[in-house]
């Protein structure tokens, strides 16, 4: 027998053995099924739960199978639901929670403003010649901004420039409810305005009086940018960080000054003015006011009035019915090298009192023209900004201590701030 025949014999033997082994497994399976029965009684002839007796079928096994299948399906749905809930909770971060807390108190403000319109050249000529009576021409212009409800009885804070020259103000809540608003107080010094709407149990946000704001922490701006285009009462949320604190800015428009502002890179766009700037704790830290931009849109440089300043005005309104304006009643000029030389002064820092209104707070303090104020509230007057910040943040009833020089002699006093008549 040659080698080829040997290998063919081996291969044939392997095939026969595999077939025989498969047959034995099948036989064992049948014997096991016969011995245990479908119900698993363990005795041949004993009917299992799934066997038939006298032609009657016991369907408990089928019902158990369906129930088990349903239980497994419910268990799977529960697991998917729990997993979805876990994922949702993981996405619900501090920013989401803070937004949910404050957003219902954010409102959109629709304003109809009365703007003066120039007459045509022919009309102006006839007015100057006395041919027709002089009369002002005005047009009504619609504008929009944002605001924040700060009390359950309907006190709303926004920017003064949002409602300037308004003949009608309508406040719209995020749920679509609209209210005619009354202008309660306008404070041009801080670019703040306060409105009153007639409502009860309104959603409101809490203003923070804390001074622990940190550069680099999250900042969330909420408002109604481009309200007419979006046609939606739900506010828009943008996120950034606190970029800087105590920024002093002088704007060309109306020569308005903003001191001690919060800077943020959270997007603030047209229509956002008057809306809140909040932190991740859900505290309102500022009122969004203006941006630096050449295009008119956000470039990441926005500014907000600190909420502590807003609270100061609110307390004034609550106690006195209005914000009490004041003026110290003097005109100052910063010392220049020429003035220092002319007056023969040793110290070049300070401000020269140029003019004082008689009976004004500065006059009552003992200051007179020609005096040189060196310090105020213990701070050397090294720049105009230092002086203006101290006055800007003061209120009626405060006292501003100062160090002055008169005829080479140092003396001190204090200015009691009084309300302007």
Instruction: Give me the catalytic one of 108, 186, 243, 273.
Output: 273
* 413 class by beta-carbon count within 10 Å (0-12 exposed, 13-18 middle, 19+ buried): middle
Q: How far apart are CA 114 and CA 137, in angstroms?
A: 10
CB 95 within 8 A of CB 280: yes
H-state helical runs in 294-399: 307-320, 337-343, 361-364, 384-392
Annotation marks residue 161 as catalytic: yes
Annotation marks residue 151 as catalytic: no
Annotation marks residue 273 as catalytic: yes
Q: Residue 147's closest CA among 259, 273, 55?
A: 273
Instruction: Give me the catalytic one of 191, 224, 365, 371.
Output: 191
Instruction: Give me the catalytic one of 108, 146, 161, 174.
Output: 161
Phi, then psi, of 159 in degrees rounded to 5: -90, 150
CB 390 within 8 A of CB 376: yes
Bridge partners, 333 (sequence order) = 352
CB 268 within 8 A of CB 286: no
Going by the DSSP 8-state scheme, the letter that residue 32 receives in this structure is H
Q: Residue 329's closest CA among 397, 395, 419?
A: 419
H-state helical runs in 218-366: 227-230, 307-320, 337-343, 361-364
- For the annotated catalytic residues, the residue numbers are 161, 191, 273
């Amino acid at each position: 027998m040659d080698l080829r025949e040997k290998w063919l014999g081996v291969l044939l033997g392997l095939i026969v053995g595999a077939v025989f082994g498969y047959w034995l497994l099948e036989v064992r399976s049948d014997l096991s099924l016969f011995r245990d029965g479908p119900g698993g009684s363990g005795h041949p002839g004993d009917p299992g739960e799934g066997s038939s007796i006298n032609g009657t079928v016991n369907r408990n096994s089928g019902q158990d199978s369906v129930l088990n299948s349903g239980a497994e399906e419910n268990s799977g749905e529960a697991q998917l639901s729990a997993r979805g809930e876990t994922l949702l909770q993981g996405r619900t971060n501090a920013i989401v929670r803070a937004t949910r807390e404050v957003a219902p108190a954010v409102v959109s403000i629709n304003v109809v403003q009365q703007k003066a319109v120039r007459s045509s050249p022919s009309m102006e000529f006839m007015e100057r010649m006395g041919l027709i009576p002089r009369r002002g021409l005005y047009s009504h212009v619609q504008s929009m901004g944002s605001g924040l409800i700060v009390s359950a009885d309907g006190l709303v804070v926004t920017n003064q420039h949002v409602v300037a020259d308004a003949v009608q103000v309508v406040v719209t809540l995020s749920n679509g409810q609209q209210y005619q608003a009354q202008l309660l107080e306008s404070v041009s010094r801080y670019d703040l305005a306060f409105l009153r709407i007639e409502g009860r149990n309104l959603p409101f946000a809490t203003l923070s009086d804390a001074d622990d704001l940190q550069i680099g922490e999250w900042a969330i701006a909420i408002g109604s940018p481009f309200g007419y285009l979006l046609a939606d009462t739900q506010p828009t949320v943008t996120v950034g960080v606190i970029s800087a604190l105590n920024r002093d800015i002088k704007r060309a428009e109306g020569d308005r000054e903003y001191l001690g502002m919060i800077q943020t890179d959270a997007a603030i766009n047209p229509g956002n003015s008057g809306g809140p700037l909040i932190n991740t704790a859900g505290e309102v830290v500022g009122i969004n006011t203006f941006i630096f931009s050449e295009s008119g849109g956000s470039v990441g440089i926005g500014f907000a009035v600190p909420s502590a300043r807003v609270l100061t005005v609110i307390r004034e309104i609550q106690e006195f019915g209005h914000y009490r304006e004041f003026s110290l009643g003097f005109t100052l000029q910063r010392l220049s090298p020429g003035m220092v030389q002319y007056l023969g002064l040793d110290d070049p820092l300070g401000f020269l009192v140029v003019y004082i209104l008689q009976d004004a707070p500065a006059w009552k303090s003992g200051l007179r023209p020609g005096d040189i104020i060196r310090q105020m509230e213990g701070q050397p007057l090294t720049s105009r900004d230092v002086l203006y910040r101290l006055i800007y943040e003061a209120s009626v009833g405060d006292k501003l201590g100062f160090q002055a020089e008169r005829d080479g002699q140092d003396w001190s006093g204090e200015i009691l701030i009084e309300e302007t008549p």
